[in-house]
């Protein structure tokens, strides 16, 4: 099969090279702000954080049972201790304790100083004020040591970490109320195209609804970014240029869709060349070849193609890593999965192809992948059904069912 789109005079820039160029151009934001712990979710820590208190702050019981001293154990024999009171979570037992005594204790209650051990309530026999311990009683069990999770003043989390729900809990457990996080990346996006109609208006002949702004808005909904939808622009070079120059003064990144190709109504590349700097235009990717990347003033510019699937693929592989680097995150290497293809795929050499797939496992846990449906770059339905990309390298000339293929999970795939 001949890929007419790959008939270029010189080889196209490969995806990995394009990603490297993009990442090289991104400088991590320096500014930070101090926010309440809850507002830190999904933000990037600007400084290391240290514990204000130990966690746990005092030694306490891991079980409902009886607290006692290991000194009262009689090796190899059962023994009885006198019950003198109760330690509740939040209400410690503070009276003096003598040898031969024990205390009823509940999970999370502070262990009285005199004690170092807890026995589960199921393992003792209670008769009035006497608690009978079996010969198998072990010392030092069921006690959570002070600071066993985090010691006072220890480093809890390091700068440049993205804060997860668990991190918020961890920081709360050591008394941290406010945190310094890197500022949000300011992102603006436009759709471009004379054919685009906004939702709520009837479609005239030749018009389609602008779906890209809805997709992009969803893809950019992340605490790392503050996002502005700047609407639809016509295929008018003057309006496009003026709008881009104005937006570039206020944002870290502009994303446009449409008009990045070579048609007479495609102006993005010329505008970027005229009013900014073009880093590259066009790369060996399918879908998404006509992508223009560069800068207008201090603002990074991504001119994505208009086709809805190309927008998503290029966002996932080229824009998202850029935004994450700007935001201060290290770019982790993706988990790569090899799966057996259940479908045939036609392909010609020349571009790295990202196909929409459905990944499953057979009863032995082996990965299987099938096509999620039609693969045209305008077909959003198969993208909506897919849970992975099947990534076919530049040189690949097609896949037969039974072949092994590389699969990347969709960023939105849940683990449960
Ligand atoms: P272009 O990159 O401008 O040549 O557009 C390629 C294809 O994507 C055309 O069929 C456009 O109509 C379509 N397209 C461009 N922008 C959008 C958009 N915002 N929403 C949906 N389809 C679009
Ligand atoms: Mg267009």
Give tens-digit pLDDT for 29-44. Answer: 999 999 999 999 999 9
Given a contact cutoff of 8 angstroms between Cβ atoms, the answer to whether 368 and 360 are in contact is yes
SS (H, E, C) 103-142: EEECCCCECCCCCCEEEEHHHCEEECCEEEECCCCCCCCC
Phi, psi of 244, deg, nearest 5:
-65, -45
Both 173 and 197 in a single domain?
Answer: no
| Cα–Cα distance, 68 to 9 (Å, whole number) | 83
Confidence of residue 335 (pLDDT cuts 50, 70, 90): confident
Both 177 and 42 in a single domain?
Answer: yes
Arithmetic mean of pLDDT over the chain: 95
Q: What is the pLDDT of residues 294-307, one digit of tens each?
A: 999 999 999 999 99
Going by C-alpha positions, the residue among 372, 247, 250 that lies closest to residue 312 is: 372
Q: What is the pLDDT of residues 343-359, one digit of tens each?
A: 999 999 999 999 999 99
SS3 40: helix
In-domain check, residue 25: yes
How is the beta sheet containing 185-192 ordered, strand by strand?
225-233, 185-192, 253-257, 299-304, 292-296, 277-281
Query: Residue range 390-406: average pLDDT?
Result: 98
Confidence of residue 11 (pLDDT cuts 50, 70, 90): confident
Atom of ligand 1 nearest to the CA of 310: 8
Does the Cβ of 191 fall within 6 Å of ligand 1?
yes
Q: What is the pLDDT of residues 241-265, one digit of tens each?
A: 999 999 999 999 999 999 999 999 9
Both 276 and 294 in a single domain?
Answer: yes
Q: What is the pLDDT of residue 153?
A: 95
Does the Cβ of 261 fall within 6 Å of ligand 1?
yes
List CB contacts of 329: < 8 A, sequence separation 6 or more: 44, 160, 162, 224
SS3 32: strand
Confidence of residue 342 (pLDDT cuts 50, 70, 90): very high
Confidence of residue 2 (pLDDT cuts 50, 70, 90): very low
Atom of ligand 1 nearest to the CA of 192: 16
Ligand closest to Cα of 304 equals 1
Above 90 in pLDDT, residue 414?
A: no
Record the tokens describing residue 411, joined without a space. 């960023």
In-domain check, residue 219: yes
Both 314 and 357 in a single domain?
Answer: no
Return the CATH number at 93: 2.170.190.11
Q: What is the pLDDT of residue 223?
A: 97
| Cα–Cα distance, 145 to 126 (Å, whole number) | 27
Does the Cβ of 305 fall within 6 Å of ligand 1?
yes
Query: Residue range 119-129: average pLDDT?
Result: 96
Both 300 and 164 in a single domain?
Answer: no
Mutate to test the pocket of ligand 1, among 189, 216, 258, 263 (most ligand atoms within 8 A of CB): 258
Q: What is the pLDDT of residue 119?
A: 98
Both 187 and 162 in a single domain?
Answer: no
Query: Residue range 141-153: average pLDDT?
Result: 96
Domain's final residue, options 114, 144, 174: 144
Given a contact cutoff of 8 angstroms between Cβ atoms, the answer to whether 103 and 155 are in contact is no
Both 22 and 115 in a single domain?
Answer: no
In-domain check, residue 331: no
Does the Cβ of 258 fall within 6 Å of ligand 1?
yes
Both 255 and 195 in a single domain?
Answer: yes
Both 352 and 393 in a single domain?
Answer: yes
Neighbours of ion ligand 2 (CB under 5 A): 193, 258-259, 306
Above 70 in pLDDT, residue 101?
A: yes
Q: What is the pLDDT of residues 180-230, one digit of tens each?
A: 999 999 999 999 999 999 999 999 999 999 999 999 999 999 999 999 999
Atom of ligand 1 nearest to the CA of 191: 19
Q: What is the pLDDT of residue 412?
A: 80
| Cα–Cα distance, 94 to 111 (Å, whole number) | 10
Does the Cβ of 377 fall within 6 Å of ligand 1?
no
Q: What is the pLDDT of residue 296?
A: 98
Going by C-alpha positions, the residue among 353, 359, 364 that lies closest to residue 341 is: 359
In-domain check, residue 157: yes
CA-based R_g, the chain, Å:
31
Mutate to test the pocket of ligand 1, among 210, 307, 312, 313 (most ligand atoms within 8 A of CB): 307
Alpha helices in 182-287 (DSSP H): 212-219, 237-248, 268-275
Domain containing residue 355 = 336-409
Q: What is the pLDDT of residues 36-87, one digit of tens each?
A: 999 999 999 999 999 999 999 999 999 999 999 999 999 999 999 999 999 9
Q: What is the pLDDT of residue 16?
A: 97
Query: Residue range 144-150: average pLDDT?
Result: 96
Return the CATH number at 171: 3.90.105.10
Given a contact cutoff of 8 angstroms between Cβ atoms, the answer to whether 369 and 339 are in contact is yes
Q: What is the pLDDT of residue 333?
A: 82
| Cα–Cα distance, 298 to 95 (Å, whole number) | 68
Record the tokens describing residue 328, joined without a space. 């201060």
Atom of ligand 1 nearest to the CA of 235: 3
Given a contact cutoff of 8 angstroms between Cβ atoms, the answer to whether 309 and 299 are in contact is no
Phi, psi of 112, deg, nearest 5:
-55, 150
Both 209 and 239 in a single domain?
Answer: yes
Q: Quick one: DSSP state of residue 234? A: -
In-domain check, residue 414: no
Above 90 in pLDDT, residue 158?
A: yes
Both 84 and 134 in a single domain?
Answer: yes
In-domain check, residue 13: yes
Both 178 and 37 in a single domain?
Answer: yes
SS (H, E, C) 282-294: CECEECCCCCEEE
In-domain check, residue 403: yes
Return the CATH number at 391: 2.40.340.10
Domain count, the chain: 4
In-domain check, residue 42: yes
Given a contact cutoff of 8 angstroms between Cβ atoms, the answer to whether 134 and 73 are in contact is no
Return the CATH number at 206: 3.40.980.10
């Amino acid at each position: 099969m001949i890929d007419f789109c790959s008939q270029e005079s010189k080889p196209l820039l490969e995806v990995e090279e394009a990603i490297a160029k993009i990442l090289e151009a991104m400088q991590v934001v320096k500014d930070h702000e101090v926010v309440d712990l809850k507002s830190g979710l999904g933000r990037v820590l600007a400084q290391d954080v240290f514990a204000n208190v130990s966690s746990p702050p005092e030694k306490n019981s891991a079980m409902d049972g009886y607290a006692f001293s290991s000194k009262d154990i009689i090796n190899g024999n059962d023994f009885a201790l006198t019950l003198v009171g109760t330690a509740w979570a939040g209400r410690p037992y503070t009276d003096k304790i003598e040898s031969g005594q024990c205390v009823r204790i509940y999970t999370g209650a502070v262990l009285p100083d005199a004690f170092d051990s807890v026995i589960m309530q199921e393992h003792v026999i209670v008769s009035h004020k006497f608690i009978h311990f079996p010969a198998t009683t072990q010392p030092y069990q069921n006690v959570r040591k002070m600071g066993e999770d985090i010691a006072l003043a220890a480093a809890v989390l390091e700068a440049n970490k993205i804060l997860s729900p668990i991190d918020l809990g961890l920081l709360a457990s050591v008394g941290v109320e406010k945190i310094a996080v890197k500022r949000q990346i300011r992102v603006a996006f436009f759709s471009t195209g004379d054919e685009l109609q906004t939702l709520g208006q009837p479609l005239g002949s030749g018009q389609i609804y602008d779906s890209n702004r809805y997709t992009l808005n969803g893809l950019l909904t992340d605490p790392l970014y503050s996002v502005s939808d700047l609407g639809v622009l016509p295929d008018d070079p003057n309006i496009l240029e003026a709008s881009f120059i104005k937006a570039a003064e206020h944002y870290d990144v502009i994303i446009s869709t449409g008009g990045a190709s070579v048609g007479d109504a495609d102006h993005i590349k010329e505008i970027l060349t005229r009013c900014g700097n073009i880093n590259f235009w066009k790369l060996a990717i399918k879908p998404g070849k006509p992508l223009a990347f560069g800068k207008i003033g201090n603002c990074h510019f991504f001119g994505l193609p208009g086709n809805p699937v190309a927008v998503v693929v290029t966002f996932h592989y080229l824009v998202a890593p850029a935004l994450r680097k700007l935001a201060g995150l290290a770019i982790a290497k993706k988990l790569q999965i090899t799966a057996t293809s259940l479908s045939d795929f036609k392909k010609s050499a020349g571009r790295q192809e990202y196909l929409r797939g459905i990944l499953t496992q057979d009863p032995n846990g082996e990965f299987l992948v099938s096509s999620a449906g039609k693969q045209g770059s305008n077909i959003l339905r198969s993208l909506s059904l897919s849970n992975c990309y099947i990534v076919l390298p530049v040189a690949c000339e097609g896949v037969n069912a039974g072949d092994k293929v590389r699969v990347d999970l969709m960023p939105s795939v849940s683990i449960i």
